[in-house]
Structure 1
């Protein structure tokens, strides 16, 4: 059996791409990290190609990295099972889109602050990464805006997330022509969200395809900053807008219909949720029903 310390050094080294940073994170010397890699290579053959400022994995290195992920997932499952019946003790991982993530993050902090034995890991990610993370057992819970059909996943309708057309507070929007003048602030899901909303708000127009792009932001917490500064409009879920710290600088343009996205709760179907995960789901549902 491979030494778990060697595997840990290998995983962190690949993640950080630097022997120096790996040693610092693990509180080891560089010599110790190098020795761990050497021991692995004596057993498995060459794992790394060392280049200036870059580390490249050999085919054997890629296989070992997959093995490290499997070991880590198995260790997490063991910890979860050992404390599965205690709803106030242990770790829960939640991976979700940024908009709903911004909304529930303060609630998760409240839960953890009130229950010191509870450890909550939250990650913001697009739908495809959420699916992969839950399937790989890296996160117990996931939220997505698409309903997967993978039989390994248990899927439940979790919440409705209204989309909103958001413009600078000083702008007057009476027609699609006003959006052409204002321009669009894009983001990773921006065009898809805008297509869904604009096709319902302005059905006889070209939609997002003709709006001039005034900028692109890939950080959910910053997308509304250029809108607040008058640089363009955007389309976001309501939860992201409600989490913005300067609501007086933006405004929502109401349309003829409400455009909804459905959020789906995912977890592996092969085993039941831990008691602490069930508790968190209950708290989140209750919170969302009140807003």
Structure 2
């Protein structure tokens, strides 16, 4: 293992050019600096050529100097993360279902544009993957429609989501039998969304078990394309329906009967959210509430 003290002596020697100046800069003796370099050369081979007026780095010496710079950068990054001193700099990672992402991602980009030091890393994924990614600490935060039953996760109400039953504009849909005839256009969160809406809209029916699936896509922006072409109906959030480019080709069945549910923000419960993450969460929440 390379001692940090040895690396500091070597990088200072490379910067100062002589053992005398390096020792003065480090407030060490020349013998101590020389000993540190010998320890490094014992492990890595010749690192420098000693000349009467200074030193010259070998290829291995240049490689070690680059390594020293990488270690110094990593140390600064670690210190910044541990102190969490800056709420508007650094990377924030967030994972959401595709339907939620249609609403949140443009606003995340607005926040990043207005906060140049902030970098937002966003991923679309089904809800089961959202929970797993946050549990594995691959993402700082996630958004889900159901509060997870896991004491490793902290969950807080974040915003509301209205689910809608969307059918082709020209289809005659008066009741359950018409939905069965149309068929269901599924998507990664479609089964869960449809089950929640249909069970409330049509109590006593078996739900999707009685309805054939006539299509599937994992591209949230394209879910309503087969609906618009008369191939079936779907259930999706209101903000996703509003984003569809051909609203004249679809209609919401029972527009005044949307099922409104709470979306939950989740993160690991064992540690507090960093300030930069909390800053982004607060900004995003304010914009969603204002726009809805």
TM bucket normalised to smaller:
0.5 to 0.7
Partner of residue 103, structure 1: 103
Change over 3 Å in CA distance of 1:141–1:78 after alignment to 2: farther
Residue deviations 1:139-195 (CA, integer Å, cap 9, x gap)? 111111221232222211112212110011222322122212322112223223222
Change over 3 Å in CA distance of 1:209–1:283 after alignment to 2: same
Partner of residue 88, structure 1: 88
Q: TM-score, normalised by structure 2?
A: 0.68
Matched ranges for 1:12-161 at <5 A: 78=78, 81=81, 84-161=84-161
Q: How many angstroms apart in 2 are the aligned matches of 1:232 and 1:79?
A: 55
Structure 1, unaligned runs of 5 or more: 2-73
CA RMSD after TM alignment: 2.5
**Counterpart contact for 2:224–2:244, Cα < 8 Å:** yes
**Counterpart contact for 2:187–2:218, Cα < 8 Å:** yes
2:246 equivalent to 1:254: no
Query: Residue 195 of structure 1 aligns to a residue in which SS?
Result: helix
Query: Residue 95 of structure 2 aligns to a residue in which SS?
Result: strand
Give the superposition deviation at 1:259: 2.1
Partner of residue 212, structure 1: 212
**Counterpart contact for 1:201–1:255, Cα < 8 Å:** no
Residue deviations 1:98-117 (CA, integer Å, cap 9, x gap)? 11111011111111122221
**Counterpart contact for 2:164–2:238, Cα < 8 Å:** yes
Q: How many angstroms apart in 1 are the aligned matches of 2:91 and 2:83?
A: 9
Q: How many angstroms apart in 2 are the aligned matches of 1:239 and 1:268?
A: 28
**Counterpart contact for 1:160–1:261, Cα < 8 Å:** yes
Structure 2, unaligned runs of 5 or more: 2-73
Q: How many angstroms apart in 2 are the aligned matches of 1:210 and 1:149?
A: 30
Partner of residue 27, structure 1: none
**Counterpart contact for 2:97–2:189, Cα < 8 Å:** no
Give the superposition deviation at 1:83: 6.9
Query: Residue 160 of structure 1 aligns to a residue in which SS?
Result: strand
Change over 3 Å in CA distance of 1:129–1:225 after alignment to 2: same
Q: How many angstroms apart in 2 are the aligned matches of 1:255 and 1:116?
A: 40
Partner of residue 37, structure 2: none
Q: TM-score, normalised by structure 1?
A: 0.68
Larger radius of gyration: 2
Give the superposition deviation at 1:257: 4.4
Partner of residue 181, structure 1: 181
Residue deviations 1:104-144 (CA, integer Å, cap 9, x gap)? 11111111122221100001112222122112221111111
Give the superposition deviation at 1:244: 2.1
Residue deviations 1:11-68 (CA, integer Å, cap 9, x gap)? xxxxxxxxxxxxxxxxxxxxxxxxxxxxxxxxxxxxxxxxxxxxxxxxxxxxxxxxxx
Partner of residue 281, structure 1: 281
Query: Quick check: 280-289 or 200-209, which moved more?
Result: 200-209
Give the superposition deviation at 1:88: 1.9
Q: How many angstroms apart in 2 are the aligned matches of 1:181 and 1:150?
A: 40
2:233 equivalent to 1:233: yes
Change over 3 Å in CA distance of 1:79–1:114 after alignment to 2: farther
Partner of residue 167, structure 1: 167
